[in-house]
Amino acid sequence: MALSYSHGSSNTPLIGETIGGFFDKIVAKYPERDAVVANHQNIRYSYIELRKAVDQFAKGLIELGVGKSERVGIWSPNNVEWLVTQFATAKIGAILVNINPSYRIFELEYALKQSGVKYLILATGFKKSDYVSMVYELIPETKRAASSEIVSGKLQELRSLILLSDEHKPGMLRWMDIVDLGKQVSDTSLCERQETLQFDDPVNIQYTSGTTGFPKGATLSHFNILNNGFFVGEMLRFSEKDRLCIPVPFYHCFGMVLSNLTCVTHGATMVLPSEAFDAGKVLEVIEKERCTALHGVPTMFIAELNHPDFSKHDLSSLRTGIMAGAPCPIEVMKKVIDLMGIKEITIAYGMTETSPVSLQTSVEDPVDKRVTTVGRAIPHIEIKIIDPSTGQTVPHGVAGEICVRGYLVMLGYWDNLEATREVIDQARWMHTGDIGVMQPDGYINIVGRLKDMIIRGGENIYPREIEELLHTHPEISDAQVIGVPSEKYGEEVMAWIKLKENAKVTEEDVTEFCRDKISYYKIPRYIKFVDEFPMTVTGKIQKFKIKEMAVKELGLERAKEIKTA
């Protein structure tokens, strides 16, 4: 009886270097090649120009007082400054904390406080969110500050705010102020700081969903994400000749690792079409910059395929890319191959806690494997599938929980040892909470999730956070949040709400209550008021029954039947 265990073999060794050190080697190898093209900012840097910007900002952070292992938050959509910050913080040994651009005050405060962010880099705003106003609301002392040093009762570790603007704002430094500070620091001082770093040092905190409580900060090392970016690029056959169109957000592993680090480890070009996803801009920039690769979650590819100007654009330069972040509908994969011409498109599976990719299809895989599975273990990674009730490895063809081991497993959840022990066992296996089936050839299909996390258009949402917010409403007695099928987004958020006696609350009231407190994508798309929830005899709420009832009542059977890899 063959057991569901496999490992990705490779003749290419792991990279035992820091991100900054490896970046410098790539710059030396490809100094004049395009490193980044930011279409919306009209900026084009070669690798030598990018390093100059990175080093200057890194030296500015040193002069500002940023120490090794101190947390530097970044709250911004995609831009060159985000990219510069990513490599500058890595060079000085700071830990970059990624803040979701869609966060509202409630979420921002939690992330800053939990990670102990000392320096926050922020854009002026994003879409309808005014970041500056939100910061002033969260930290009113800032608006009245006589200097740029922050003293906050709520966020006692926060010391400086750095605004991505030339505009002067009370209590805030500007990006150029930090660049100017860098003129006071020598290149030697930066090199000396770099030399103190180890590749196992933490370099990044990314907030990720879980089954209970608020988001947890997955803490990743140089070794984790540098190697994952590199080997994912190897699976794509990346070289310095590739040009990757990046419509996925940098705050997420998909953007920061699978896009930025995949490119930089191969001397390839990062092409940013816009600050946030815009299907039309993606199509335009692919043609304009002759992109060879494209990344995205399924909803992005669907939007590009359905764009009214799709047929007007020349996409013939496209060769490869990754579709990931949510279950990938088989029919969409076929259209990406046939209509977009991305013959070597791959599917990747992973999670933030695994840096993120552990499974990926290959450009060499037959089409049926690339449209019906999430691939095999990538190089240097071990995969096993276990019976979650016994912990025993199951035979091929039997569904069980996917477990991952190797260089890619996070250091742990920031300041949360208990949560870390819940997912990483003593043998360093990461328990993903996803249910999969391994075939004899090592290919895996995802068939479900142990956890009740919702994935809406590539965004991870966990019900507990929304439930806790709804519980703060004075007229709500109880709330249960689930994910229901969606043809467009994969899943949508639904809330079943039990009101207090004689309360009069409408769906519109609930939506409005959530609007300025949580990100738009977490606001329930469907709301149902109930007198009771389906329960077990022991008093436990049966969410699977809630979901079954909701699918039937909302007529979502068709969406539920959409096949994915």
Strands 490-499, 526-529: pairing kind: parallel
Number of helices (H), then strands (E), belonging to the chain: the values are: 20, 29
CA–chain centroid gap for 311, Å, is 30
Strands 476-486, 490-499: pairing kind: antiparallel
Rg, C-alpha atoms of the chain: 23
Low pLDDT (below 70) residues in the chain: 146, 209-213, 451, 536-540, 565
What pLDDT is recorded for position 535?
74
What pLDDT is recorded for position 286?
98
Cα–Cα distance measured from residue 326 to residue 351, given in angstroms and rounded to the nearest whole number: 11
AA identity, residue 5: Y
- Domains belonging to the chain, first-starting first, are 19-338 (3.40.50.12780), 454-560 (3.30.300.30)
What pLDDT is recorded for position 455?
85
Q: How far is CA 298 from CA 291, 433, 477, in A?
A: 19, 21, 37
- Give the position of tokens 């910050």: 85
Q: What do you get for the CA distance between the two ends of the chain, in Å?
A: 25
What pLDDT is recorded for position 318?
98
Cα 281-282-284 angle, rounded to 5 deg: 60
Cα–Cα distance measured from residue 256 to residue 251, given in angstroms and rounded to the nearest whole number: 7
- What's the predicted TM-score (pTM) here? 0.87
What pLDDT is recorded for position 538?
46
Structure letter (DSSP) for residue 394: P
What pLDDT is recorded for position 539?
56
CA–chain centroid gap for 526, Å, is 25
Cα–Cα distance measured from residue 297 to residue 282, given in angstroms and rounded to the nearest whole number: 13
- Give the position of tokens 């740029």: 148
What pLDDT is recorded for position 145?
75
What pLDDT is recorded for position 536?
53
